[in-house]
């Protein structure tokens, strides 16, 4: 049948273009990077928009909503909190409120349940959202015998799942309080964000016997300038405008993979602010059904 044959040809062509994009991203990612085998060197990767296209918390909330583990009101409240955090970044009151509520949507859930669901959600929603270029760089560090960590404001349970699936050493993330195996909705400490993320990397380096001047770090956000400034080999990946300016001024490496996938990334959360829009979209789709 001509129509079926045409669809197959188009599907085959799309698959070939996708493989070509992955190959090109991989080649571009590792071009000009020479890593020595160094036991005192390591690499630290931000997660959202650096390793993963979009926001991991959005994918987690979406997957939980699809399973009936979140109500419409839960996901709208979550989206509103994240939007408030993004837009009110300079307002101390907004920061305190948003940080305190950042993981409230898992309150009452068991640790075992989040781990199990997190594994499923990674397969369903995140596995094909990993940036091939960033993954290639991480693998280059691993191939040279260096340790590689994810360092993210996302829940540490989710970050650990992603790190394990990508074959990384481990993950540092935001810790949600749990009592008797159930999450309380409160944080232990603060979000792993900005200066707190840099402090966590510094502490890890001291514990692991790493020389930060021989280490590398990768991020998309100006919020991670403190972490990037700690290491001898910082790199801006898919940088926001402020980080791009800072990286150029400092002579840092820049890698940007967004141009090739611009059409496929429309609608994906591009930071915490986009989570609110995604929540509204989910509710709108439910009303249409």
Question: Which residues does the annotation mark as catalytic?
Answer: 46, 48
Cβ neighbourhood burial of 108 (10 Å; 0-12, 13-18, 19+) = exposed
N-term to C-term CA, the chain? 34
Alpha helices in 31-144 (DSSP H): 56-66, 72-87, 92-101, 111-121, 132-143
Distance CA 218, CA 235 (A): 5
Distance CA 60, CA 69 (A): 11
Distance CA 130, CA 242 (A): 23
Q: What's the DSSP call for residue 38?
A: -
Distance CA 38, CA 135 (A): 20
């Amino acid at each position: 049948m001509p129509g079926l044959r045409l669809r197959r040809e188009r599907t085959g062509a799309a698959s070939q273009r996708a493989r070509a994009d992955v190959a090109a991203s991989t080649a571009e990612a590792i071009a000009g990077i020479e890593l020595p085998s160094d036991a005192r060197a390591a690499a630290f990767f931000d997660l959202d928009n650096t390793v993963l296209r979009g926001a991991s918390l959005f994918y987690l909330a979406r997957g939980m909503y699809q399973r009936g583990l979140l109500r419409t009101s839960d996901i709208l409240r979550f989206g509103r909190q994240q939007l408030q955090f993004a837009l009110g970044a300079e307002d101390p009151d907004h920061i305190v409120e948003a940080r305190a509520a950042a993981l409230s949507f898992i309150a009452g859930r068991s640790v075992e349940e989040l781990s199990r669901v997190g594994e499923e959600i990674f397969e369903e929603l995140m596995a094909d959202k990993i940036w091939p270029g960033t993954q290639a760089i991480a693998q280059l560090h691993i191939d040279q015998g260096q340790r590689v960590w994810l360092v993210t404001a996302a829940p540490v349970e989710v970050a650990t799942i992603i790190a394990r699936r990508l074959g990384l050493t481990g993950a540092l993330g935001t810790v949600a309080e749990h009592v008797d195996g159930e999450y309380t909705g409160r944080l232990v400490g603060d979000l792993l964000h900005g200066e707190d993320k840099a402090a966590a990397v510094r502490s890890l380096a001291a514990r692991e016997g790493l020389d930060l001047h021989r280490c590398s770090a990768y991020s998309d956000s100006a919020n991670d300038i403190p972490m990037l400034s700690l290491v001898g080999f910082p790199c801006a990946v898919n940088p926001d405008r402020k980080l791009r300016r800072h990286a150029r001024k400092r002579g840092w490496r820049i890698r940007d993979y967004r141009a090739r996938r611009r059409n496929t990334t429309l609608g994906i959360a591009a930071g915490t602010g986009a989570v609110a829009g995604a929540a509204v979209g989910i509710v709108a789709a439910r009303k249409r059904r």
